[in-house]
Structure 1
Amino acid sequence: MGMTSALSNALSGLTASARSADVISSNISNATTDGYGRRELDLSSRVLGGEGSGVHIDGITRIVDQVVIADRRLADADLGSSTTRAGFLQRIEDVVGEPGTAGSLSDRIAGLDTAFIEAASRPDSDPRLQSVLRSAQGIADHINTISREIQTQRTNADHSIALQVDQLNSALKNIEQLNHAILTQSSSGRDASALMDQRQQLVDQISSIVPMRAVPRERGQIALITTGGAILLDGRAAEIGFTRTSLITEDMTFSAGSLSGLTLNGNPVSTGENGIMSGGTLTATFEVRDKLGVTAQNDLDAVARDLIERFQDTSVDSSLTALDAGLFTDAGAFFNPANEPGISTRLSINISVDPESGGAVWRLRDGIGAATQGDVGNASLLQSMSGALTRSQVPVSGNITVASRSMSGLSSDYLSKIGAARQSADADIVFASTKVDMLKTQELQSGVDTDYEMQQLLLVEQSYASNARVMQTIDELIQTLLRI
């Protein structure tokens, strides 16, 4: 081997060592960067004229565990779905209030029963009759508040769907552009690892919205397909459509056509549990808007109806006619069962007993429909109303229970149904969270090991020093020849 060949070999070794140091330093500096794939420098022997001629840099390989990443993305989607459902249920549970807690619905109903009993012991006492009125108003206001909160959460869910759809469309377009950039880089023989890191970060960001798998295509490109089979990206990004609603009321549902669904490239897609986009936060938010929220509202309407009908019964208050409103009313009027949807929002106290509306509290003692006061010592109506509140009866609507319940029992069953669903969602969160943590740990294990990288850097240092020593020796030989 001549000195020229030796010098060429040493120079290629120095170049490879410098490039290796660059790759290793990049690995170490990005050890905790999300989406970063560890790099390895690919080297091979360079052969010219049948003889070894140093080392050749073949390129850089990005090392990631695609199986673990795919499983972690699906777990992220499950966690997002469970968290979305649990958040809604927890909010409604908080507004209803736990039994025994001051200000809860059950506490207010118990307070009304106590007020009836105290007023019946002194039917001539206006303060005790006022206490009955305040307690009844507290129940009506509380049920109104729960109903408004349900619709607020449904409206928020609709707005969240719009934001998620915008995020999906934007990310898919960006991933499409990154695919093209990676193709260009790969075709020209340049390293596209940094672009792949950016693409992985984008896919990770939207994988909790819709569970998807990245399918490899030629020259480093990928296609994105949901677990339900919808193609979100394969060459070109799909267009997901949704129309936001500014305000949702009790009567507005997707099934009635008053709320927007989801489209994929202009075609309607199911947002149910078995739809092609199901599994992530997007369909869970649809579930809050179209299923959980609607069910909670329907059941609350059943509670409000049960409360109204207990007191507009003519057997409870003989001063009422068949179409007269009782203590609790439908926006001040007699409740018609055909007009049940939204009754929990319209629930109010009969103005006949409210002094602020021109009524009089003595009608709680003498009859809602009474024209004049009767015997101030007559407690029969107050006792009858107390009995109506505590009487067990089967609710005629809703899907809370088929058992006979008092008003207090029915409100407790309503809360229990929501609480059971929330506990189920919480259990799903624990399971999904544990799975995500486990998969993230596995993902990190296949990522950058700084101890290993430092060991490799020491080897690179030794290689660099050796090649530099070879070049120094050749230089000394050349200098000796020149001095002869």
Structure 2
Amino acid sequence: MSISGSMSSALSGLTAAARSAELISSNIANALTEGYGRRELEVTARRLGNTGQGVKIVGVSREINQALVADRRIADANAASTAQQSNFFTRLETVLGSPTESSSLSGKFANFDSALIAASAEPESSVRQSNVVEAARGLASHFRTASKEVQTMREEADKRIATQVSVVNRALAAIADLNQNISSSVGAGRDPSALLDQRQQLIDQISSIIPIREIPRENGRIALYSAGGASLLEGKPAILGFSAVGVIAPDMTLGSGALSGLTLNGHPVSTGATGPLAGGALIADFTIRDQLAPRAQSELDSLARDLIFRFQDPALDPTLTAADAGLFTDSSSAFLTANEDGIAIRIGLNTAVDPGAAGQLWRIRDGLGAVTAGPAGQSALFSAMQSALNDPRPIASGQFAGDDRDALSLSSNLVSVVTNNRVQLEVEAGFSAARATALQSLELQGGVDTDRELQDLLLVEQAYAANAKVIQTADDMLKILLGM
């Protein structure tokens, strides 16, 4: 090989070594950066005529296990979905309370029952009468608190849906722009790795909201489809549509048109568990808003309805007529079966027995419709109320409709169902989260290994020094020749 050929080969080696050092430095610096794909320099022998003359840089490869990334994205979506639903039941169970706690809904029923028993034994005591009124007030208040929490969770789900739709729309538009830039870079022979990293980060951002399938296209472009087959990006990005509402009342539903559904490019799309966008946090929030929360509200309404009817029966209190409200009211009025939706958020205490609302405490003993106080030792109404609370009666609505239950066991059964749902979803959420974490760990293991990078850097330094030595030697030889 000639001296000039040796120098040319060494210069190409220096260039390749310098580029390799740059990529290794980038790999080490981004070892913990999410969405970063490890870079490696692709080289081949440079040929001049029939002989090898140095090294030629072909390009930069970005190492990504696409199958593993796809599995991890699906796992992320499942984990987000189950976590959202598990959180709903956890909050619902918290507001209902454990049956063993006096502050729980079941505890409020038990307190009311105990107050009635005590008042029946000592009906002349104003303290015992007051205890019954306060226990009834506390019971009604707990119904309202639980119902408001259910509606709050619906409102929060509605707001999250709006946020998620906005995130997806922005990300899809940005991915479409990156597709164009990546295609241009590939066509011009430039390294698109940084753009590919940005695109992967945006896709990962969407993947927990909607399960994503990435399909490669020409010149580094990609198409995106949901796991259910909906086209999200095929050249142009899809546009999701949704309108959030401020306040949600119990009677507001998707079916009635009071709540917004979801559209894809202007066309309505199913938000059910088998819909084309199902599997991630987005449809989980629709499930909470339109199914889980309304079902919980319906069960609370059923329990409140049962309680009101037990104490609105004229046979219980002879001073009442069929049109009068009992001890528990529907916004201070008698309850009608046609108005069951949302009764748990409207249930209240009859003002006739509330001294704070110009009522008379003795009416809890003598009858809500009584004009004057009766005998101080009269306990018949307290005993009748206690029996009404504990007598098994047919349940008119809800999941226990048709069963004979007393009020206390009905409330305990409701809490048990919520607890069972919470436990089941916690197990599913734990499994989904563990799977997502495991796949993420595998993905990181296949990413940047700093020990390996440092070893490669040592080899690059050695190659750089060797090529520099060749150039130095060639330079010395040329000086000798020129000096002859």
Under TM normalisation by the shorter chain, which class is it?
Answer: over 0.9
Alignment of 1:121-140 (within 5 A): 121-140=121-140
Q: Match for 1:41: what amino acid?
A: L
Distance, in Å, in 1 between the alignment partners of 2:105 and 2:49 is: 91
Q: Match for 1:301: what amino acid?
A: D
Partner of 2:340: 340
Partner of 1:481: 481
Question: Are 2:326 and 1:323 aligned?
Answer: no
Partner of 1:149: 149
Distance, in Å, in 2 between the alignment partners of 1:361 and 1:230 is: 64
Partner of 2:369: 369
Partner of 1:448: 448
Question: Are 2:247 and 1:257 aligned?
Answer: no
SS in 1 for 2:46: strand
Q: Match for 2:41: what amino acid?
A: L
Distance, in Å, in 1 between the alignment partners of 2:102 and 2:188 is: 71
SS in 2 for 1:305: helix
SS in 2 for 1:186: helix
Cα displacement string for residues 350-371 of structure 1 (whole angstroms, at most 9, x for unaligned residues): 1111112221111111111222
State the 1:63 CA deviation.
0.4
Cα displacement string for residues 328-365 of structure 1 (whole angstroms, at most 9, x for unaligned residues): 11112211111111111111111111112221111111
State the 1:51 CA deviation.
2.0
Distance, in Å, in 1 between the alignment partners of 2:254 and 2:201 is: 34
State the 1:378 CA deviation.
1.1
Alignment of 1:85-234 (within 5 A): 85-234=85-234
Distance, in Å, in 2 between the alignment partners of 1:394 and 1:5 is: 100
Q: Is the contact made by 2:136 and 2:349 (CA closer than 8 Å) also made in structure 1?
A: yes
Partner of 1:467: 467
Distance, in Å, in 2 between the alignment partners of 1:408 and 1:332 is: 24
Question: Are 2:320 and 1:314 aligned?
Answer: no
Cα displacement string for residues 378-406 of structure 1 (whole angstroms, at most 9, x for unaligned residues): 10110010111111223111114653222
Distance, in Å, in 1 between the alignment partners of 2:450 and 2:148 is: 54
Alignment of 1:301-450 (within 5 A): 301-400=301-400, 402-450=402-450
Deviating more after overlay: 280-289 vs 349-358: 349-358
Distance, in Å, in 1 between the alignment partners of 2:245 and 2:173 is: 25
State the 1:60 CA deviation.
0.2
Q: Is the contact made by 2:102 and 2:111 (CA closer than 8 Å) also made in structure 1?
A: no
Distance, in Å, in 2 between the alignment partners of 1:333 and 1:9 is: 96
Deviating more after overlay: 45-54 vs 470-479: 45-54
State the 1:267 CA deviation.
0.3
SS in 1 for 2:136: helix
State the 1:28 CA deviation.
1.4
State the 1:324 CA deviation.
1.6
Distance, in Å, in 1 between the alignment partners of 2:216 and 2:203 is: 13
Distance, in Å, in 2 between the alignment partners of 1:219 and 1:389 is: 73
Q: Match for 1:135: what amino acid?
A: A
Partner of 1:42: 42
Distance, in Å, in 2 between the alignment partners of 1:335 and 1:31 is: 65
Question: Are 2:77 and 1:77 aligned?
Answer: yes
Distance, in Å, in 2 between the alignment partners of 1:212 and 1:158 is: 22
Q: Is the contact made by 1:311 and 1:388 (CA closer than 8 Å) also made in structure 2?
A: yes
Q: Is the contact made by 1:401 and 1:413 (CA closer than 8 Å) also made in structure 2?
A: no
Q: Is the contact made by 1:400 and 1:417 (CA closer than 8 Å) also made in structure 2?
A: no
SS in 2 for 1:243: coil
Cα displacement string for residues 125-157 of structure 1 (whole angstroms, at most 9, x for unaligned residues): 111101100000000111011111111111111
Partner of 1:12: 12
Cα displacement string for residues 281-313 of structure 1 (whole angstroms, at most 9, x for unaligned residues): 000000110000100011100000000000111
SS in 2 for 1:40: strand
Cα–Cα, structure 1 residues 401 and 431, in superposed 2: closer, same or farther, change >3 Å?
A: farther
Q: Match for 2:90: what amino acid?
A: Q
Q: Is the contact made by 1:400 and 1:414 (CA closer than 8 Å) also made in structure 2?
A: no
Distance, in Å, in 1 between the alignment partners of 2:119 and 2:128 is: 5
Deviating more after overlay: 296-305 vs 40-49: 40-49
State the 1:196 CA deviation.
0.5
Deviating more after overlay: 336-345 vs 275-284: 336-345
Q: Is the contact made by 1:213 and 1:227 (CA closer than 8 Å) also made in structure 2?
A: yes
Q: Please, what TM-score do these two structures have when normalized by structure 2? A: 0.98
State the 1:50 CA deviation.
2.2
Distance, in Å, in 1 between the alignment partners of 2:169 and 2:400 is: 40
Cα displacement string for residues 201-243 of structure 1 (whole angstroms, at most 9, x for unaligned residues): 1111110000011111111111110000011111111010001
Cα displacement string for residues 16-75 of structure 1 (whole angstroms, at most 9, x for unaligned residues): 111111111111111111111011110011112222221100000000000000000000
Partner of 2:67: 67
Deviating more after overlay: 324-333 vs 293-302: 324-333
State the 1:99 CA deviation.
1.1
SS in 1 for 2:360: coil
Q: Match for 2:375: what amino acid?
A: D
Q: Match for 2:473: what amino acid?
A: T
Q: Match for 1:247: what amino acid?
A: V
Q: Please, what TM-score do these two structures have when normalized by structure 1? A: 0.98
Q: Is the contact made by 1:225 and 1:233 (CA closer than 8 Å) also made in structure 2?
A: yes
Partner of 1:238: 238
- The percentage of aligned residue pairs carrying the same residue is 49
Distance, in Å, in 2 between the alignment partners of 1:351 and 1:451 is: 76
State the 1:455 CA deviation.
1.6
Distance, in Å, in 1 between the alignment partners of 2:25 and 2:465 is: 18
SS in 1 for 2:245: coil
Cα displacement string for residues 111-136 of structure 1 (whole angstroms, at most 9, x for unaligned residues): 11111111111111111101100000
Distance, in Å, in 1 between the alignment partners of 2:400 and 2:22 is: 66
SS in 2 for 1:53: strand
Deviating more after overlay: 119-128 vs 259-268: 119-128
Extract unaligned runs of 5+ from structure 2.
none
Q: Match for 1:195: what amino acid?
A: L
Distance, in Å, in 1 between the alignment partners of 2:189 and 2:99 is: 69
Q: Match for 1:436: what amino acid?
A: A
Distance, in Å, in 1 between the alignment partners of 2:136 and 2:63 is: 68
SS in 2 for 1:52: strand
The count of aligned residue pairs is: 484
Distance, in Å, in 2 between the alignment partners of 1:354 and 1:343 is: 20
Q: Is the contact made by 2:143 and 2:344 (CA closer than 8 Å) also made in structure 1?
A: yes
Distance, in Å, in 1 between the alignment partners of 2:354 and 2:16 is: 90
Distance, in Å, in 2 between the alignment partners of 1:115 and 1:53 is: 99
Distance, in Å, in 2 between the alignment partners of 1:245 and 1:132 is: 40
Q: Match for 2:15: what amino acid?
A: T
Q: Match for 2:431: what amino acid?
A: F
State the 1:102 CA deviation.
3.0
Q: Is the contact made by 1:183 and 1:219 (CA closer than 8 Å) also made in structure 2?
A: yes
Distance, in Å, in 2 between the alignment partners of 1:474 and 1:358 is: 110
SS in 1 for 2:393: coil
